[in-house]
Structure 1
Amino acid sequence: MEHPNRPEPILTLSGVHTHIGQYHILQGVDLAVPRGGLSVLLGRNGAGKTTTLRTIMGLWRASGGTIRFDGQDITRLDTPDIARAGIAYVPESMAVFSNLTVRENLLLAARDGLLEPSRVDWICGFFPALKKFWNYPAGNLSGGQKQMVAIARAIVEPKKLLLVDEPTKGLAPAIVQSLMAAFRELKDTDTTILLVEQNFNFVRTLGDLVNVMDDGRVVHAGPMRTLAEDDALQTRLLGLSLDSHQ
């Protein structure tokens, strides 16, 4: 039961199981993402973090349990309906439409095929390279620039919840700083962020809450500050200090 003085979480997973073929990946995930701010999902490789995001998005169907978003049961909804409900997903693969320009990539995600100039200017304030390569095919961009396009496409329309999988993986430090600025400002809007990330220096200053996964379950949930200041807890949950996650 929710505390009477606390709002209902914008996203709740209750006992969620996911099977992929013969593999039982998620084994009863319980996860609550508060409305507003940035929640982080940490864990060893193979713990089930990406599967959790993909299951929320309906890309993989939950085989058990319930997923509720903004007061609605979305467990059995198809991915397009989940997106229309207000969730955007940025996969680790930096998926872009390679033959389309940066502008055309964003247009695909824009309501009625129209880009709001003030919104584009706001996004390009974080990622100036997007304006520079506005009319270039996205397939010609570097990995970091493609990641910018993927994130820009996800936020070109205001979303209630943004799911982001390993956004800093393989990126240069300067681009990571741009991402940090973008997420920090998004936190101050009406967008809630659930972020899977291994770069602890990135999430240490951004994350409000942290959930740690192991073997397909959430084994720890609490304030990011508590985990960041407790080396023994880091070692117990992750097998090493989070400062090693660079």
Structure 2
Amino acid sequence: MTTATAHTDSAAPLLELSGVHTHIAAYHILHGVDLTVPRGEVTMLLGRNGAGKTTTLRTVMGLWRASQGTVKFAGQDITRLATPQIAGFGIAYVPETMGIFGDLTVRENMVLAARSARTAAQIDAERLAWIFRLFPAVEKFWNHPAGKLSGGQKQMLAVARAIVEPRELLIVDEPSKGLAPAIINNMIDAFDQLKKRGVTILLVEQNINFAKRLGDNVAVMDNGVVVHAGRMQALAQDEALQRSLLGLAL
């Protein structure tokens, strides 16, 4: 009986948006978004610029409030909750701007993100060692001002900060933007390792090759709605569908 219940729970999506509308001032940005993010997998959110991808992420996090529809996390309605409450469920968000504190050191940025630690010594040592293996630059520049890091190093720090404590869901907006191919490979490896640890990942991405290599599932947005959802591999193999949805081929 217990096993059956656990199986049902694990089969349910971790994150589910149903009929979500979002208005920002006078602008109606999301027009009824339906999005399902299965547990333990990587879901890519694709679409042209202005399709509503970032607004979708910000609405999930409560940074912008849905005017209609529901957002559920692990079966619980989080639509009306404040951002700190949503984060408290084990959801980490890395915005496109990365949101790091440039005047603080890498170490200070990490301590700020680790809510259970007041000093670097109080951060879980095993977890920190794992993060250092994922992102060697975080260890290398531990005592350097974060503002002096390169774009790729800042992105690594932003993701490292998001996972300094265990998370159930990691949401990242355009992680590969402006990164060199070697850093992109490093980022793909890091997300793959996170997935193997049971973290569910939702990524907004413009780099189609990145999406194809990493994604299990894909949702494509256009004009504030999801116009296609399915397995990433199926979209990667269908050039006609790619052109009709994205105006390009993978």
* TM-score normalised according to structure 2 size: 0.93
CA deviations 1:45-67 (Å, max 9, x no partner) are 00000000000000001111000
Residue 223 of structure 1 pairs with residue 227 of structure 2 = no
Deviation at 1:111, TM superposition (A): 3.4
1:129 is matched with 137
Q: Which residue does the alignment assign to 1:46?
A: 50
Spell out structure 1 runs of 4+ moving beyond 3 A: none
What residue in structure 2 maps to residue 86 of structure 1?
A: 90
After superposition, the C-alpha distances for 1:82-119 in whole angstroms (9 at most, x for unaligned) are: 00011100011121011111111111111321311111
Q: Which residue among 232, 237, 246 is the counterpart of 1:238? A: 246
2:10–2:39 Cα contact (<8 Å) kept: no
Q: Does 1:68 align with 2:72?
A: yes
1:210 counterpart (213, 218, 242): 218
Residue matched to 2:4: none
User: How far, CA to CA, are the matches of 2:164 and 2:87 in structure 1?
Assistant: 13
Kept in 2: contact 1:197–1:203 (CA 8 A): yes
Match of 1:25 in 2: 29
Structure 2 CA distance for aligned equivalents of residues 221 and 177 of structure 1? 25
C-alpha separation between the residues in 2 aligned to 1:240 and 1:174?
Answer: 24
- Could you say what the CA RMSD is over the residues aligned between the two structures, in angstroms? 1.4
Q: Which runs of 5+ in 2 are unaligned?
A: 1-7
Match of 1:198 among 195, 206, 210: 206
Amino acid at match of 1:45: N
| AA of the residue aligned to 1:88 | A
**Distance across 2 between alignment mates of 1:37 and 1:226:** 16
- Secondary structure at the aligned position of 2:142 is classed as coil
Return the match for 1:140 from 143, 148, 151.
148
CA deviations 1:126-152 (Å, max 9, x no partner) are: 211111100111111111111111100
The whole-number CA distance in structure 2 between the counterparts of 1:222 and 1:5 is: 21
Of the three residues 99, 108, 116, the one matched with 2:112 is 108
Name the SS of the counterpart of 2:116 in structure 1.
Answer: helix
Match of 1:164 in 2: 172
Kindly provide the amino acid, as one letter, of the partner of residue 65 in structure 2: R
Counterpart Cα distance in 2 of 1:15 and 1:37: 23
CA–CA distance in structure 2, aligned partners of residues 32 and 106 of structure 1 = 31
**Residue 96 in structure 1 maps to residue 100 in structure 2:** yes
4-13 vs 175-184, greater mean Cα deviation:
4-13
Equivalent residues of 1:37, 1:188 under 8 A apart: no
Give the stretch that moved more between structures: 30-39 or 113-122: 113-122
| 1:202 CA drift (Å) | 1.0
* TM-score, normalised with respect to structure 1: 0.95
Which position in structure 2 is the counterpart of 1:173?
181
Q: How many angstroms does 1:121 deviate by? A: 1.1
CA contact (8 A) 1:19 1:62 kept: yes
The answer to whether the aligner puts 1:152 opposite 2:160 as a matched pair is yes
Give the aligned residue type for 1:150. Answer: A
Match of 1:7 in 2: 11
**2:62 corresponds to:** 58
Query: How many pairs were matched up?
Result: 240
What percentage of residue pairs aligned between the two structures are identical? 66
User: How far apart, CA to CA, are the structure 2 residues paired with 1:6 and 1:191?
Assistant: 13
